[in-house]
Structure 1
Amino acid sequence: MTEIAITTSIGFTLTTVLTLWFFFKASRSKKALYAILFWMSIVGTLGIFGFYQKIDTFPPRFIFLLAPSIIFVFLLLLNKKSRNFMDNINLKWLTLLHTIRIPVEIVLYYVYLGGLIPALMTFEGYNFDVVSGITAPIIYYLVFVKKVLDKKTLLIWNFLALILLINILTIAILSAQTPFQKLAFEQPNIGVTYFPFVWLPAVIVPIVLFSHLSSIRQLLKLQNKNGKIENEA
């Protein structure tokens, strides 16, 4: 493994903790927090022992980094109790949560400099996800504090930021060392198979995805209820 500065690993660990803090502030659910911490411990332990780094297995172990959490997020939409949970999460904190995409992109850049991911997964390539992080506090301020933008704008922003998330997810998957690899053969995406970066696809990405889906669901329900999206706090 190419040497990654300890400060990069510490920075990413703190970013993961910050993501959990934002999520707890939004959901106020200790049960959900404990469940995420339990999943983190499993993924982290497997990452430490190099489970995800093996590429001569089928199915590719990279799949187990991303698929379980993503599938779980979408399964939540099928359960009435889970949908009620999503509908009661604080929309303000869900919006602010996306600021964590700034430190995530900074860390990814340093992981790229360490030779563990391709340039196209950073803001020097085709990863524009940092835009979501930069605009998140601005959108929060204009919608919830100054109230010069309405909730329809927030809905549009969530859709656009979701597209940016799907974009980098697609690049990351197609750059990984799997039978489905289509990009970055000269420098595959192997960084996220190492600890603590395993928490990016297994924890941070699903939380960000869940935050978008919860926000979009709330805003669409509000729109259907009122005929238009009112600018409510």
Structure 2
Amino acid sequence: MEDVPGYVAGTFIAIVIALLGFIYYAVSYATPGKKNITSALVITLLVGWIFIVCVLVFEGFYTNLSGIPRIPITAGIAFSSILFIFIIPRSRALIAQMPITTLHYIHIVRIPLQMVLWWLAISKAMPMDVTFEGSNLDIISGISAPFAAVFLVGSRTKNRIGAIFWNVMSLALLIIFVRMAIGYTPYFYTPSLSNVANLAVFFFPYILLPTFIIPVLIFSHLVSLLQLFFKTDQSQY
């Protein structure tokens, strides 16, 4: 990872900060009149999670490939937390009030994220196949996110079917990318497929891709679909 330019990590960290900002705004909007206590609590929990993951990566927890794969376990905890949010009635009521336009604009970060992946591939820290130059089409979701936010769920223009279609397709592209990225990690790496393994995610700050960024993006799609399917009053989204 010594060959990766500093601006790559800087851009990646900026993406993480931007996601925290989107989440803070969405939770604040969903809990008006509570002096942002709920949003501050949510951000504190997320920052605490990020801190724990970063401490583990600096301790070499993830680069130890013996035994049970550790990145999937950590990512599994993040996704289990998302499932918990959807199961608990109180938290489900909160996410139902999140502004759906924000939940669409948040996907703009997929554009700089794909640039980070491309820079990592150039530096031989990630296979080119998982970038937009290879088989990864996820950048389409980032480019189309502003269009979806304005014309599919915007305050003046709404198209429920179109918004559902966009979220399903964008979620599918994200899952395809995740599947590709997992396949190139040392857990499943086959030299015949690529001469470069997906090593970046085992180091700071890129460990936050599977343990924070991807879960947040999937969460935003799921919340958007929840609102689109179950809110009968279109003015509410």
Normalising by structure 2, we get a TM-score of 0.88
Q: Secondary structure at the match of 1:187?
A: coil
Q: Tell me the residue number matched to 2:218.
A: 209
CA distance in 2, matches of 1:70, 1:190: 22
CA distance in 2, matches of 1:151, 1:182: 42
Alignment of 1:106-145 (within 5 A): 106-143=115-152, 144=154
**Contact 2:101/2:150 (<8 A) preserved:** no
CA distance in 2, matches of 1:182, 1:36: 34
Q: Tell me the residue number matched to 1:53.
A: 63
User: Is 1:33 matched up with 2:47?
Assistant: no
Aligned residue-pair number: 225
User: Is 1:159 matched up with 2:171?
Assistant: no
Q: Deviations over 1:199-226 (max 9, x none)?
A: 111111111011001000011002xx36
Q: Secondary structure at the match of 1:195?
A: coil
One-letter code of the match for 1:109?
W
CA distance in 2, matches of 1:195, 1:64: 17
Alignment of 1:186-201 (within 5 A): 186-201=195-210
Root-mean-square deviation (CA, aligned residues, Å) is 1.8
One-letter code of the match for 1:11?
T
Name stretches of at least 5 consecutive residues in structure 2 with no aligned partner: 29-38
Q: Secondary structure at the match of 1:62?
A: helix
Q: Deviations over 1:67-123 (max 9, x none)?
A: 211222123222222211221111111110010111100001001111111111100
User: Is 1:64 matched up with 2:73?
Assistant: yes
One-letter code of the match for 1:22?
F
CA-CA distance at 1:32 after TM superposition:
1.4
One-letter code of the match for 1:40?
I
CA distance in 2, matches of 1:42, 1:164: 29
Q: Deviations over 1:125-173 (max 9, x none)?
A: 11111111100011112231551x5122111111111001100111111
Q: Tell me the residue number matched to 2:31.
A: none
User: Is 1:43 matched up with 2:91?
Assistant: no
Alignment of 1:72-111 (within 5 A): 72-111=81-120
Alignment of 1:4-43 (within 5 A): 4-28=4-28, 29-43=39-53
One-letter code of the match for 2:44?
Y
Name stretches of at least 5 consecutive residues in structure 1 with no aligned partner: none
Q: Secondary structure at the match of 1:116?
A: coil
Q: Secondary structure at the match of 2:87?
A: coil
Q: Tell me the residue number matched to 2:159.
A: 150
Q: Secondary structure at the match of 2:147?
A: helix
Q: Secondary structure at the match of 1:8?
A: helix
Q: Secondary structure at the match of 1:77?
A: helix
One-letter code of the match for 1:127?
N
CA distance in 1, matches of 2:167, 2:103: 10
Q: Secondary structure at the match of 1:52?
A: coil
CA-CA distance at 1:181 after TM superposition:
4.3
State which drifts further: 117-126 or 75-84: 75-84
